[in-house]
Amino acid sequence: MLELTVNLDERSYPIYIGPSILQQTGLLLEHIGDCRPIIITNDTIAPLYLDNVMALLAEVNPLSFIIPDGEQFKSLEWFEKISAFLLENNCGRDTCLIALGGGVVGDLTGFVAACYQRGVPFIQVPTTLLSQVDSSVGGKTAVNHPLGKNMIGAFYQPQAVFIDTESLHTLPTREFAAGMAEVIKYGLIYDTELFRFLENNLKQLKALDEEILQHVIYRCCEIKALIVAEDEKEAGLRALLNLGHTFAHAIEAQMGYGKWLHGEAVATGMVLAAKLAHTRGDLTAQQVTRICDLITRYDLPTNIPENMTSEQFLHHMRKDKKNKKGTIRFILPTKFGQCALVDDVSDQHVRDLIEQ
């Protein structure tokens, strides 16, 4: 088992990574403490893992709540349903929510935890690659709105993150590929060695080689922990973690949440960001090709949705959370392993990029 810490003073917490993490009952109970555990999961994960986790926690009388599986259910409607369940079961501030699932479950559970009785503890148990390397770490919680993704939420840190690598063996290949988009992102924004490692170990990763998986997940969590410790609430540095996301969130909003997986949209968004960086003279054509090739090799899309127009992109991007005073701001690679937040991209630059 590997372990690292997100250092946030009194709100610091551990991340545990390895196979059979969920079998370590004592470790999980240690972080639940005297609280009453409520497991929030979805109807895909529940048949696989819920009974096992309920049995591990039997001595502290856990309850569970199951939501439907899908990005479209990360909504205010399901936020309210979970909150009502907690109230109906007389859950007080001595409640600990456990998010058992992917990014939707984690984001939604975390937001409920941040708001219920002005804040109760929660634990992340991510079961998808994307949530293990990205969304479960750092305390971003939110729900979607028809007018924008993750526009209603809060920064609220978990008590701990338990990453059981064995859960990836039940993950559909499309979901695994979507998670690889976020892994590739870390290589582009921070770590050229990681990018090269992904190029050289594709077969082992796709085969879920345990040693390779743990190395990649640990490195991604380590990078994110370093960035979050320096800029918890995205005042500056943390915004770089959004490489590709300005385009990606526009795709998700336009296509309808769940039609494109988040990682698929991020993959295409990174290609667009790389091409935009090339037009600014920051990346060579060869570097753009290298990025596109790696994304393609991990079975991810590199082209925008058919019939999605530049005006539709601009419409959604004008609602992006990074914007200031009406100006759309982009995270663009300036070279391999380094990105920057730029605010001098004109609407016409975006139109030219999309229409190409």
Q: What number of other Cβ atoms are within 10 A of residue 188's Cβ?
A: 26
Q: Which of 74, 149, 219, 238 is catalytic?
A: 238
User: Which pLDDT score, from 0 to 100, does residue 24 have?
Assistant: 82
Active site residue: 31, 36, 140, 185, which one? 140
Average pLDDT, the chain: 95
Quick one: pLDDT at residue 164? 96
Active-site annotation holds for 278: no
Average pLDDT over residues 89-104: 97
Predicted local distance difference test score (pLDDT) of residue 321: 86
pLDDT at 181: 98
Given 242, 252, 264, 316, the catalytic residue: 242
Instruction: Report the run of H or E that residue 351 belongs to, with start and end.
Output: helix 347-355
Residue 143's beta-bridge partner residues?
A: 152
pLDDT at 325: 84
Residue 124 has a pLDDT of 98
pLDDT tens string 48-75:
999 999 999 999 999 999 999 999 999 9
Give yes or no: 118 in active site: yes
Per-residue pLDDT at 19: 95
Catalytic hit among 249, 275, 278, 329: 249
The pLDDT score that the predictor gives to residue 292 is 97
Instruction: Report the distance separating Cα 101 and Cα 160, nearest Å.
Output: 15
Residue 157's closest CA among 117, 114, 125, 187?
114
The pLDDT value given to residue 291? 97
Active site residue 203: no
Q: Which residue has the higher pLDDT, 284 or 24?
A: 284
User: Could you confirm whether 262 is annotated as catalytic?
Assistant: yes
Mean pLDDT of the region 227-250: 93
Residue 22 confidence (pLDDT) above 90: no
pLDDT score of 25 more than 90: no
pLDDT of 314 over the 90 cut: yes
In this model, does residue 97 exceed pLDDT 90?
Answer: yes
Q: With helix as H, strand as E and coil as C, how does 234-291 read?
A: CCCHHHHHHCCHHHHHHHHHHHCECCECHHHHHHHHHHHHHHHHHHCCCCCHHHHHHH
pLDDT of residue 326: 84
pTM for the predicted model, two decimal places = 0.95
**Is 242 considered catalytic here?**
yes
The whole-number pLDDT of residue 336 equals 86
Catalytic residue (one of 74, 245, 275, 329) = 245
Is residue 297 part of the annotated active site? The answer reads no
Residue 191 has what pLDDT? 95
Active site residue 315: no
Residue pair 242/331 in contact by the 8 Å Cβ criterion? yes
Which residue in 107, 100, 101, 166 sits closest to 128, CA to CA?
Answer: 101
Q: 31 catalytic, yes or no?
A: no
- The pLDDT value recorded for residue 335 is 87
Which pLDDT score is estimated for 47? 97
pLDDT digits (tens, 9 = 90+) for 129-158: 999 999 999 999 999 998 888 999 999 999
**Is it the case that residue 258 has pLDDT exceeding 90?**
no
pLDDT digits (tens, 9 = 90+) for 162-212: 999 999 999 999 999 999 999 999 999 999 999 999 999 999 999 999 999
Residue owning tokens 């988040």: 262
Go through the domains of the chain in sequence order and give each one's CATH number.
2-170 (3.40.50.1970), 173-355 (1.20.1090.10)
